[in-house]
Structure 1
Amino acid sequence: MQKIIQQLAAELRAQANQVQTAVDLLDGGATVPFIARYRKEATGGLDDIQLRELEQRLGYLRELEERRGAVLKSIGEQGKLTPSLRAAIEAAPTKQELEDLYLPYKPRRRTKGQIAREAGIEPLADLLFADPTRVPADEAQAFVQAEKGEGGEDFTTVPAVLDGVRDILSERWAEQPTLVQTLREWLWQEGLFKSALAAGKDQNHPDVAKFRDYFGYDEPIGRVPSHRALAVFRGRQLEILDAKLVLPVEPEPGKPSIAEGKIALHLGWSHAGRAADDLLRKCMAWTWRVKLSLSTERDLFARLREDAEKVAIKVFADNLRDLLLAAPAGPRVVMGLDPGIRTGVKVAVVDATGKLVDTSTVFPHEPRRDWEGSLHTLAKLCEKHGVNLIAIGNGTASRETDKLAGDLMKRLSLTVRAEPVEAGVSTSSTRTEIQRVVVSEAGASVYSASEFASQEMPDVDVSLRGAASIARRLQDPLAELVKIDPKSIGVGQYQHDVNQGELMRSLEAVVEDCVNSVGVDLNTASVPLLSRVSGLSGTVAKSVVRWREANGAFRSRQQLLEVSGLGAKTFELSAGFLRIRGGENPLDMTGVHPETYPVVEKMLAQAGKPVAELMGRAEMLKTLRPELFANDKFGVITIRDILAELEKPGRDPRPDFKVARFNEGVEDIADLREGMVLEGTVSNVAAFGAFIDLGVHQDGLVHVSQLSHKFVTDAREIVKTGDIVKVKVMEVDVARKRIGLSMKLGDAPTRRDAPRENRYEGAGRGQRPPQGQRAPAAPMNTAMAGAFAKLQRK
């Protein structure tokens, strides 16, 4: 275990005692959010990112050590464990290198090389390789057998014996770990990942055409981006594409390949025209073509897939984090509209607490086209419940329904102005201005049909539950989206192609971190939300809700210990993340952990003020010196965290709520024109760019090269999911449903080190733009065209 601790410390650039403490806490059942927030002294301030990495690597290294022990035991039982082999196995840093060392000793079915060795041909193989001047046919005569073996082995001729030599040598060389690793790393750097349309496939078929970018594609395998690798692997799985690893330079017919040359170089052999050199060359060719080429391709494809999956999972996790931590609209009355054509627009109104108070279905679109009737129904609901925010799902008929909401807002605005107003009362105070927002409805149908939705809204039609979920997403995205399987939220790419276990582990960690960073209202939180709180399982979360229903609202955190199944350890892990507003102790609405309440009491005694007067008083809190209140258990770091929490009690780390405003008259991709500047919402972010919802049924793409005037390698450096941005339309392809956008709205800043004639785009050498004119903009980066295909496969 100390070996693992030392390795983790080196990787995290931390002290061994920090890592040891963190490992002990994790092994003791503590969660990452709890350790990161309330055990900073113990871990030396390791943050949640470091702790997540530590947790993941700890699992890998423990599996590696377990496998290492099994390998040593297996080789030891064979009586082949030499001191040098043991040292190499104990030093192997990865599972792959460990398996390379174990390969020659791994129990397996009899091979051709093993059969030849059993027939006594190995001395001939050793002789010919050690002394290539020997004539193979002459030396083989002594090894020719009179008859076939009992198992059918046939070494009754000289060619058969020499084939046995080939099998022995090629198998021996193919199992040399250093040779295998050398070839693998060389091909990772220089080998080509190549794909082509599979034979017999119609390239014009819609399902096949999606992969047209890969019908004649090749790229150095070590530099293939994640999205391209996963696209090729998906095409291969669907039998649309053929994929293979090819050498950087294909050999001429009859000539040895570079790979064979590297094998010869590794073995210290070269063809010198000696009697056995032709045979040895054939043995090396056999080693590559039969033994190593396919296994190396398999290993490197596995490595490429693993690396690509890590990137894809990270992108999904980052987008999910941004979506969960999107700005909440807060306690406002919201009308949710779930758009539909034939089945109508489903309507649900939720009050400021998220409770469903009314539902309806209107039919403004085809085939009924009851526009006026729909407006009348929606206006009555707004009047009845005081709606001040409209949430519109972004599915089919979203833009048409957004227009309906716009007409509704205009009608209600006219109604307000027409109403008599009492003296001294402004019209703005009689009704809050209504806003409308288009929101992602990804996963709403999954939630609608879930067991939790049926418990939450038992007498409500499944289709109407989706409208209620859409409305609640505006009030508190985090509280609503935790009710849905993270994989159904739709902010990832190739999510069904990656390792599902790793994906779920990563997404669950993101949800846990987001929920605990914001905190949860103990008296209003649902079971799914409570079950994401540090230390609370689904069973305990249900017990908390049952206690709340039976006894009323919690008045203090201490009452949690009255909940069945919630013991002292669970209380320790969860209490700091649970909030009670208006309870007996004002500290219960903050992130201050109950275990540190005695420390706060000492602060109050020195300040001479009750906690209610101290909270939020920055000038008073700054007079308190943290070192005066530190003790053996809670050091200066914790005291500073307490003071920061008291300064802004119950603060929400999420940004303020804002609304993107779509341009009037832009309702379909056909309405877009090059040069338009529009406002939209970032719906998804990938390494190659960001997808923007403009309200025209098709997301546009801002390629990474168009995000900023500065060089950008990762789109998330500039934008994140949920951001509201302004973009310029650069290209519109209605037929292929592609929209090219740019966020470069202004002029690029002048580079001081740039040549004078190159300080504006589009000018020739030594030229300047005409007086009063701006240089023409550079055309859209051609890389954008290839990236559009990713949207089709999103």
Structure 2
Amino acid sequence: MTESQIFKLIASELNLKSKQVISVAEFLDDGATVPFLARYRQEATGGLNEEEIRDVRDKLEFHRTLEDRKKTILKSIEEQDKLTPELEDKIRSCADLKTLEDLYLPYKPKRKTKGDMAKEKGLEPLADLIWKQQTIEGNPQNYARNFVDKEGDVPTPESAMEGALHIVAEWINESVEVRDTLRNIFEEHAVIRTEKNPAVKERTNFEDYYDYSNKAKYLKPHQILAINRGERENILFVNVELWDEITLEQIDDVVIEDERSIFTPQLQDAVEDAYKRLLFPSLERELRNELTEKADEHAIETFATNLANLLMQPPLDDKIVMGIDPAFRTGCKIAVVDETGKYLEGTTVYPTPPQNKQEEAAKVINKLIDQYRVELIAIGNGTASRETEQFIAELIQNRKKSGDKKELNYMIVNEAGASVYSASKVAREEFPDLEAAQRGNISIARRVLDPLAELVKIDPKSIGVGLYQHDVNQNRLSQKLDDVVESCVNQVGVNLNTASAPLLSHISGLTKRVATNIIKRREEHGKFKKRDQIREIDGVGDFRFQQAAGFMRIPESSNPLDNTAIHPESYEAAEKLCNLFNINLEKLGTEREKIENVFEGIDKEVIAQQIGVGVPTLELIIENLQKPGRDPRENLQKPMLRQDIMKMEDLSIGQVLEGTVRNVVDFGAFIDIGVKQDGLLHISNMADRRVEDPHEILSVGDILTLKIVSLDLERGRIGLSLED
């Protein structure tokens, strides 16, 4: 298949125009990034968004890989001198990997088989007689007797027939039509049955699958992943079952073309042998692999969606924050950071068991609050989180009782990955004088000020918003999560004068080395004053500048456009637009209302032509003139702040309260409602209709109004429903 044919096929598969696919392919091949194409090349791509461009990218990768595989297969068959024009046409026109591998199966190098050994004994002509089904008179044994060779290890007619049938069984196994038929049967009728390993005596998390069966096509992704893990941990035995009698009849229908053949009974025996010895094990593995791939893809998408929502949580600007990394025996690590995230001071206190030094801890914390005018306390949600929350809530209430009128709140922060960060090279470089244990609390505090800027320092897989994330295809997971981080960072943009190296490294076109060079240049020469100075960085040529510049903000620049998402290549057009409508660029930040009104009802086609750009670029310029330096996160719900805490015993069925979504999974969402245990909002309680995907209803970070529908104090379980 030529590149042109691939482009047409992808356009058909994704319901796009061929020229859109060609344009994206050319840009990607030249090294352009997805965020750059989605924002600054809409005219060329026909307005494709990031998701659509990534779909094109993934399809391109698949079809190019498929074409490479075809070349390898054709070369292999040709070297065996077995490539016919008909087979070559079939291989070249093949559009899926399974069929391609089926076509290659008869020619694929493999260990010597029973059929190979039978061929060496000269039994292929007998196998050919059986396979062609053209012999309708005589006795099979008489034909087999012609191949008896006592010196050649074929002592009897029976052994001759047995060897010939081994050859036929392999031909049946290698038949594309047979494999397609059986594949369809597996897809429609295969049953997955699981049972407990009798050697397992203790209770496990897999009790739902101790005696379980379901059609493979009805299994949900989380069930597949649970079954796989149970099998891997040797807790479950897993089998695939089919109704063999009916299945064999359907394969017979494909293989047996003339029942008058005297070899029909032998052919039926070969079908059964091929099915049980070769076909079933092969397609069983294929089915299990396909189920796993389907479950992996779903789990990866769930993780990616949750991660995107977590990264895009709105920052709580201009607050002095105290971060607490809770613990029992080793104490609670405390860090205070200023409005910019600069570390001010840290220590360790022991308000939780076994020490229970609450009075001493309160003195230390109150002193830090007063000294640095702390406005918000961020508590990690790990071990001892709720005990620490109880202590902080009481401390806040005691301060209020003593007459403190200063606003002081706390919130629970997802601390997943904080320990990974604290031991990382990035953390060591940021805080070389601090022990690892004293760095995680800084990360917790900074996650409040700007979740995105802090969380990009951590391997996305360590951020706990996934489902079986350690079980799925790790390469695919990494690629998907990298896409999410890249998308979020570039959607928000970065302040070139404050961004960390990890944050900069995710900007379109930049590498870790270039990001490090930017930090070095900043430290040696001070703040950047204009975007053009990026060109001075070692490793930044014209192309890299083109890819990155639009995603960087310089609030200190004398050119207000440097603090917008308007690309430098469009500055001239932006200035023409401002001149057309008498807009003073120097007053972008103070004349917002006037600028918003001036563009109402304009003919965008005409104006775009006047300033020499396409309509999408004009719309981008107008949006950024109206809202210079806009953060897309600013209109989202701010995190919920608290001053007091409830106990499980304070709850009652029917009670209505607010909660924050911590994680969204297939069967519902886990909600922080301010007690020790997160509540479960089951998918069945999300709406007065059937909900297929919880992400349709809510996202990580959402603040919801909920009703308690069930309570189990002994097991610490809280059931919730969504209130209108």
Q: Does 1:690 align with 2:678?
A: no
- Shift in Å at residue 394 of structure 1? 0.8
Q: Residue in 2 aligned with 1:700?
A: 679
Match of 2:145 in 1: 141
CA deviations over 1:70-114 (Å, ceiling 9, x no partner) = 111222232322222222112211111110111011122322112
User: Aligned equivalents of 1:296 and 1:504: distance in 2?
Assistant: 29
The equivalent position to 2:647 in structure 1, one of 660, 663, 667, is 667
Aligned to 1:766: none
Deviation at 1:317, TM superposition (A): 0.6
Contact kept, 8 Å, 1:116 with 1:165, in 2: the verdict is yes
Taking a change above 3 Å as real, the CA distance of residues 501 and 491 of structure 1, as seen in their structure-2 partners, is same
What does residue range 42-441 of structure 1 map to in structure 2 within 5 Å?
A: 42-128=44-130, 129-131=133-135, 134-148=138-152, 154-202=153-201, 205-206=202-203, 209-247=204-242, 249=243, 257-269=245-257, 276-416=263-403, 431=406, 433-441=407-415
Q: Which amino acid letter does the alignment assign opposite residue 622 of structure 1? A: E
Contact 1:329 1:657 in 2 (8 A): no
What letter is aligned with 1:142?
N
The range that moved more, 156-165 or 627-636, is: 627-636
The residue type equivalent to 1:709 in the other structure is D
Q: Is the 8 A contact 2:351 2:361 kept in 1?
A: yes
Matches within 5 A, 1:590-739: 590-614=564-588, 616=592, 617-622=595-600, 625-626=603-604, 627-630=606-609, 634-654=613-633, 655-660=635-640, 666-668=646-648, 672-734=651-713, 736-739=715-718
Read off the aligned partner of 2:503 and give its amino acid letter.
L
Q: 1:360 to 1:657 in 2, by over 3 A?
A: farther
Instruction: Specify which of 562, 582, 602 is matched with residue 556 of structure 2.
Output: 582
Cα deviations across residues 707-743 of structure 1 (Å, max 9, x unaligned)? 1112210000001111122333333445555433222
Query: Structure 2: which amino acid aligns with 1:435?
Result: N
Give the unaligned 5+ runs of structure 1.
149-153, 252-256, 418-426, 747-794
Taking a change above 3 Å as real, the CA distance of residues 593 and 416 of structure 1, as seen in their structure-2 partners, is: farther
What is the letter of the counterpart of residue 599 of structure 1? A
CA distance in 2, matches of 1:696, 1:451: 36
Q: Give me the whole-angstrom Cα distance separating, in 2, the residues matched to 1:92 and 1:696.
A: 58
> CA separation in 2, counterparts of 1:45 and 1:182?
42
> Is the contact made by 1:259 and 1:288 (CA closer than 8 Å) also made in structure 2?
no
Identity %: 42
Alpha-carbon distance in structure 1 between the residues aligned to 2:169 and 2:87:
21
Alignment match, 1:479: 453
Shift in alpha-carbon separation, 1:74–1:478, aligned structure 2, 3 A: same
Cα distance change of structure 1 residues 473 and 86 upon mapping to structure 2, 3 Å threshold: same
Worse overlay, 31-40 or 618-627 = 618-627
Higher deviation after alignment, 511-520 or 358-367: 358-367
Paired residue type of 2:110: R
Per-residue CA deviation, residues 291-333 of structure 1 (Å, 9 max, x unaligned), is 1010010111111111111111111111100100012111211
Deviation of 1:138 after TM superposition, in Å, equals 2.3
Measure the CA separation in 2 of the matches of 1:699 and 1:271.
67
CA contact under 8 A between 1:264 and 1:270: conserved in structure 2?
no
Deviations 1:679-702 (A, max 9, x none): 222111122211222344433322
CA shift, 1:415, in A, is 4.5
User: Which stretch of the first structure deviates more once superposed, 730-739 or 708-717?
Assistant: 730-739
Q: 1:80, 1:229 → 2: CA distance?
A: 41
CA–CA separation in structure 2 for the residues paired with 1:502 and 1:633: 41
Greater CA deviation, 189-198 or 474-483? 189-198
**CA apart distance, 1:132:** 5.7
**CA offsets per residue over residues 351-383 of structure 1, 9 Å max, x none?**
000001011222212233222222222111111
Corresponding letter in the other structure for 1:548: R
- Which amino acid letter does the alignment assign opposite residue 117 of structure 2? I
What SS does the aligned partner of 2:439 have? helix
Match of 1:740 in 2: 719
Aligned partner (choices 392, 403, 426) of residue 452 of structure 1: 426
Q: Do the aligned partners of 2:397 and 2:644 also contact (CA within 8 Å) in 1?
A: no
Pick which of 733-742 and 50-59 moved more. Answer: 733-742
**Residue identity matched to 2:424:** S
**What TM-score results when the alignment is normalised by the length of structure 1?**
0.86
> Contact 2:661–2:700 at 8 Å: present in 1 too?
yes
- Letter matched to residue 700 of structure 1: G
Query: Structure 1 241/581 Cα, relative in aligned 2: closer, same or farther at 3 Å?
Result: same
- Contact 2:573–2:612 (CA<8 Å) still a contact in 1? no
Tell me how far apart the structure 2 counterparts of residues 270 and 700 of structure 1 sit (CA, whole Å).
65
User: What code does the residue aligned with 1:608 have?
Assistant: N
Out of 458, 463, 466, the position equivalent to 1:492 is 466
Count of residues paired in the alignment: 714
The 1:218/1:133 distance shift into structure 2, 3 A limit, reads farther
**TM-score if structure 2 supplies the norm length?**
0.95
Following TM superposition, by how much is the alpha carbon of 1:571 offset from its aligned partner in structure 2, in angstroms? 0.8
Deviations 1:251-300 (A, max 9, x none): 5xxxxx1221111011245878x864432222111111011010010111
Unaligned runs of 5+ in 2: none
- Deviation per CA, 1:553-580: give whole Å up to 9, x if none: 1111111112222121111111100011
Determine the C-alpha separation between the residues in 2 that align with 1:550 and 1:368: 47
Give the residue type in structure 1 aligned to 2:143.
E
| 1:529–1:211 distance in 2 versus 1, CA, 3 Å | same
Give the distance between the partners of 2:612 and 2:183, measured in 1 at CA. Answer: 51
Q: Following the alignment from structure 1 to structure 2, what is the Cα–Cα distance between the partners of residues 535 and 456?
A: 24
Q: Distance in 2 between matches of 1:406 and 1:666?
A: 10
Q: Does 1:517 align with 2:470?
A: no
**What SS does the aligned partner of 1:143 have?**
coil
Q: Distance in 2 between matches of 1:245 and 1:124?
A: 35
Deviation at 1:199, TM superposition (A): 4.0
RMSD: 2.1
